[in-house]
Chain A
Amino acid sequence: MGNEAVALGALKAGMTFYAGYPITPASEIMHFLAKVKDLEFVHCEDEIASINMIFGASLAGCKTMTATSGPGFSLMQEGLGLGYMAEIPFVIVNTMRVGPSTGMPTLPSQGDVSFACYNSHGDTYPIIFYPNSVEECFKVTIDAFNCAEEARQPVILLMDAFLSHMYEPVDVDNIKVEIKNRDMKKLGSQMGHVTGLISENGKPKTKDPEVYKKWLKYSKEKRDRVADNYKLYEYVEKSDKLIIAYGVTSRVVMDLEGYSIFRPIRLFPVLDELKEVCSKYEDITVVEMNDGQYADILEKELLKKVKRISILGGDINLEDVRKQL
């Protein structure tokens, strides 16, 4: 199951602390981890507590993760911002369901894409991954952990209810992976003062625009530099028409004949390779399970119009896509 693969991937990546709150369709990650010995596991009172708890545990030196869906992800926004500001690594899994609000809890969606890409208040520079198979759930979870350690910031792993509950055989023991170890100070070893305020050398500098500009520039450059080490995508060149799809949608459109397909796995920041590929095509269509959110992001990046096909309400059907093309 996709969710179990995420849990296994996290354990493989060296996670020693998990805090979470049950939510469909992410709960199985919790169910699986609750049974793991030697893992500090907390069933929290809410998602706000989850994210703050993994923030604290990460400060104490643990690799940490939490998993949720849209409603919980909304509650986590402030904690995410704290992660960016204080530069603390942790991983958040958001298994998307149809929203807004309680929406359609059991049906898949990709409606949180732009929300995740521009998360928290203020200017933030997120890194987002989105696998499309159970095996990839395992591998990309490890990538997300490595990336968080390298960038010292929260990293988001997007999934959808379909992927979460999909069963596929995976030989996890024979997948070769590289693990990045923690390389930063922790509490109890002169870490100093950790704060959500803009600071310089551990001292708040909340009235100096220059300090803020410097920090923001550094933060953006760091994100771009680290994200460059994780250029994950799949590209099949077949014709002069391009379809861009990710997650479970990409599995559906893979069967379409007469279209080249680009599938970003590192969804955000937008891959340079994707921009390059797009420059070669005039006819570009983005197929996604929302009202054109990634298409909006791409149009901004590419400075040209792309066509969009929206699969709404959690029902994926290749015939529907074909009709709209």
Chain B
Amino acid sequence: MSENNYRDWIDYDRYPTLWCAGCGIGIMVKYLAQALVELGYEKDEVVIVSGIGCTGRVAGYFHTDSVHGLHGRAIPVAEGIKRGNKKLKVIVVSGDGDLLGIGGNHLLHSLRRDVDITVICYNNEIYGMTGGQMSPTTPTDKFTITSPFGCEYNPVNVHKLISSNNHYFFGRSSVWHVDHLKKVVKESLSHEGFSFVEVIGHCITNNGLRIGFKDAYEMIMTIKKMYKVNTSIESDTDLGVDTK
């Protein structure tokens, strides 16, 4: 299949999307669709499940069957679907607040049960849809509208959380490192068992502008500067792909 076919997977009738100009979620959607096409999946064997929030709307823009459930509950819905019909490829696409905040308990336990689903987490360190509140991944000292004097807490260390399980797949990429993102997503989709991909993204409207970024370009370039692709799979660092 040629790479261009990924467009068939996107529901253009729904356009324009509800995401702001300069948002990174669309980039993630594009490379997820490409990864699915390149792995040879058919549309009727893939189900996309989302929670609530900006990233929670991803499910609706796919041409596959998709579920847009409750806030934080994407993972149990996905587990139910997978256990209900083992032939389906079930992918959860949701945000950091949805998966690590309100849905943290489900992440912990579906991971432990090692159910064969792929979870893709768009991590923009903020609650975007509700206006820019502090999220579980907001870095310490960062200003948001619910941490007006700087975030007092440490962010969730999602890599260590996932890797505390005996059998796991953890991948991290970003919306700037798109080739790497596609590679990580493809590897996670090929993994048998629970796989988790953290996609470092940004939110310009409800985070970036407030903390002093001029535009989305400037914000995305900080991702480029901050993260480097790690080619060593066995590495213990938090960067790059990690499989065990």
Contacts and interface: CB of A to CB of B under 8 A. Distances in A.
A204 B79 contact: no
A190 B47 CA distance: 10
Nearest to B50: A195
A65 interface: no
Interface residues of A, number: 40
B159 interface: no
Q: Tell me what chain A mostly uses at the interface: helix, strand, loop, or mixed.
A: mixed
A82 B69 contact: yes
A187 B77 contact: no
Given A49-B109, A79-B73, A188-B45, A17 B68 contact: no
A193 B60 contact: yes
B105 A46 contact: yes
A82 B79 CA distance: 17
Contacts of B44: 188-190
B70 A62 contact: no
Interface in B47-92: 47, 49, 59-60, 65-70, 73, 76-85, 87-88
Contact of A62 (B68, B78, B84): B84
A58 interface: yes
Contacts of B109: 44-45, 49
A295 to B, nearest CB: 34
A55 B77 contact: yes
A54 interface: yes
B76 A56 contact: yes
Nearest to B52: A196
Interface in A45-97: 45-46, 48-50, 52-62, 64, 78-79, 82
A195 B67 contact: yes
A61 B84 contact: yes
A242 interface: no
Contacts of A52: 69-70, 73, 76-77, 80, 106
Contact of B73 (A19, A48, A61, A189): A48
A197 interface: yes
A19 B14 CA distance: 34
B65 A57 contact: no
A288 B109 CA distance: 40
B87 A45 contact: no
Interface string A1-43: 0000000000000001101000000000000000000001010
Contacts of A78: 70, 73
B108 interface: yes
A204 B52 CA distance: 14
Contacts of B13: 203
A49 B68 contact: no
A57 B68 contact: no
Given A19-B80, A56-B79, A60-B85, A188 B69 contact: no
> Which 3 residue pairs are nearest across A and B when measured between Cβ atoms?
A56-B80, A60-B84, A57-B84
Interface of B: 13-14, 44-45, 47, 49, 59-60, 65-70, 73, 76-85, 87-88, 105-106, 108-109, 113
Interface of A: 16-17, 19, 40, 42, 44-46, 48-50, 52-62, 64, 78-79, 82, 186-197, 203-204
Given A49-B109, A62-B85, A188-B85, 7 more contacts: A42-B83, A53-B80, A61-B84, A82-B69, A189-B44, A194-B68, A195-B68
8 contacts: A42-B83, A46-B105, A48-B73, A50-B76, A56-B79, A190-B44, A195-B59, A196-B70
